[in-house]
A and B are shown apart, each in its own frame.
Chain A
Amino acid sequence: DTEVTQTPKHLVMGMTNKKSLKCEQHMGHRAMYWYKQKAKKPPELMFVYSYEKLSINESVPSRFSPECPNSSLLNLHLHALQPEDSALYLCAAGMNTEAFFGQGTRLTVV
């Protein structure tokens, strides 16, 4: 069982849709992350939140908008995505050492 919960597990959306990915953790970790993973590739960092403040944005297009409402929740708002944005989106929560990952959301943009 994962201590980082992501919803939904699967999402299909059109290029004009607006949707959100949700991530929740109750481990008390104050750093939370969004990663994007294409098939057969390692995860690539998108955003880092530290103490609910955005600390790293890896030059991600503005059609991806992160939000950290509190220390347990992390959202990724999606708007006007492109088919090449189809991927597995992983959320992680961590401390000074390891990061714990959720099961991911498989996103397909049609």
Chain B
Amino acid sequence: AQTVTQSQPEMSVQEAETVTLSCTYDTSESNYYLFWYKQPPSRQMILVIRQEAYKQQNATENRFSVNFQKAAKSFSLKISDSQLGDTAMYFCALRYGGSQGNLIFGKGTKLSVKP
């Protein structure tokens, strides 16, 4: 079975500081993808960053970066220079099985950025 675990239900950070959201996963697949999605109160699920399992290099998108530890099955998200607009629910997700594959979501971490 494929599982995704986010152990931090809620987190808060001061504006301009750095925060790290944790995610662990379990899969027996060798070819899979990992994602972080952001869902603000406007409710649209927005892709933040993705990581291909076969790539050793950690993905980076502007202020967002991941720490991908394949052996440990860990995939954390670091947000640098936090902004008020980063306030949202963050979901870690795992995908396998090509375009027909399901996205397995973690339960989410609610991040609040405080001024």
Chain A residues in the interface with B (C-beta under 8 A): 2, 29-31, 33, 40-43, 45, 48, 50, 55-56, 88, 90, 92, 94-104, 106
Contacts and interface: CB of A to CB of B under 8 A. Distances in A.
A30 B100 CA distance: 9
Contact of A42 (B95, B98, B99, B105): B105
B114 to A, nearest CB: 21
Contact of B44 (A45, A55, A104): A104
A100 to B, nearest CB: 7
9 contacts: A40-B108, A43-B45, A50-B99, A55-B100, A56-B102, A101-B46, A102-B44, A103-B42, A103-B44
Interface size class of B (residues with CB under 8 A): 20 to 34
A96 B105 contact: no
A86 to B, nearest CB: 14
A31 B95 CA distance: 13
Contact of B45 (A41, A48, A90, A96): A90
A97 B100 contact: no
